[in-house]
Amino acid sequence: MNSGCICCSLVGDFSKSLKEVVETYHPERIIIEPSGVGKLSDVMRAVDGVKDEVDLEIGYRITVLDVNKCKMYLKNFGEFYVNQIEYASTIVFSRTDIAKEGKTDAALAIVKEHNADAAIVTTPVEQLNEESLLAALNHTTGLEEMLRRAEEEHEKEHHHHDHDHEEEHHHHHEDEEECHCHDEDHDHHHADGEECHCHDHDHHHHHDHEEHHHHHADGEECHCHDHEHHHHHADDVFTSWGTETGNAFTKDKLKAIFDKFEQESKGTILRSKGIVKDAESDQWIYFDYVPGQFDIRMGNPDYTGKVVVIAAGYTEDELKEIFLG
């Protein structure tokens, strides 16, 4: 495509050329890479304008971003640069292998501010296999998915615990037999009927034979995820938090983090999962934690690092400081 004002170039020559390419060569895919300063939304609009004349539709919207110059480009190119971030479905970070410490995460924060939904590739592309690249393009192994799996695993374990708990308190009384066992009144207070599937471990025990009361008021939905992916139970007992990161970790550093959690009385990490770059090799660390058990295995690079945590007694800011510093 011609350099210069992309919105002008697109109106005539581009639309004509696009139709000629489709009708002459019948390609499976067409890659459009504009030169010069332009808006991704203009490219999308131009393609959309000819889709009634030729059989095509927009597939991937990819923006390549130099992490070392992100702040400078944002300042110098303003709305054009922001537009390329906002309309991308996948954002590929370049030069992360030579970036100074902190540059990648600084660029990540800028991108998240303008586009919380895009898949962001922080790993050098040459280190990724086809499966990882397609996962980034199709959003099949993103942070939301990892957090969802962690929450489902925690829910399953929690319900299993509840089942065992109920079995232990099941008593058969025959005739007039007197039993001095005490049922428990488990008060689960949810503010305004929220649709959050978190469960409170704070069971209040009363020595009477009442039923299990679950108090739900009306109406409020639980807004579980923002761009840093966290949510609260109504009484702030559980925090689900996740983040993407370009930071590298060692196995010893991760072990030290979870050892510290085990030793502290402040709160509890109920479950944590993650995929992060190994600082000591070209491989990546895949970890899974529940209280008393920390499993690590080494695997292929993913398109970006991801950490998710389900905790009681910790805030999102505290978890972010612990893992990202």
> What is the reported pLDDT for 96?
94
Per-position pLDDT tens, the chain of length 325? 444 455 555 556 777 888 888 889 999 999 988 766 788 998 898 888 888 888 888 999 999 999 999 999 999 999 999 999 999 999 999 999 999 888 998 999 999 999 999 999 999 999 999 999 998 998 876 777 777 877 887 677 655 444 444 444 444 444 444 433 344 444 444 444 433 333 333 333 333 333 344 444 444 444 333 434 444 443 347 889 999 999 999 999 999 999 999 988 788 999 999 999 999 999 999 999 999 999 999 999 999 999 999 999 999 999 999 998 8
For residue 207, give the amino acid letter: H
Burial of 148 from C-beta contacts in 10 A (0-12 / 13-18 / 19+): middle
> What is the reported pLDDT for 18?
85
Residue intervals of the chain classified under CATH 3.40.50.300 are: 6-138
Task: Note the CATH number of domain 6-138.
Answer: 3.40.50.300
Domain 142-159+224-325, what fold?
Hypothetical Protein Yjia; Chain: A;domain 2 (3.30.1220)
Residue 250's nearest CA partner among 291, 279, 224, 208 is: 279
> What is the reported pLDDT for 264?
83
Run of H or E residues at 257: helix 251-263
CB-facing half-sphere around the CA of 197: CA atoms within 13 A? 10
Does pTM top 0.75 for this prediction? no
> What is the reported pLDDT for 322?
92
The side-by-side arrangement of strands in the sheet containing 119-121 is: 62-66, 90-94, 119-121
Residue intervals of the chain classified under CATH 3.30.1220.10 are: 142-159+224-325
> Rounded to an integer, what distance in angstroms lies between the CA atom of residue 27 and that of residue 20?
11
> Rounded to an integer, what distance in angstroms lies between the CA atom of residue 34 and that of residue 2?
7
Sign (positive/negative) of CA torsion 49, 52, 56, 58?
positive
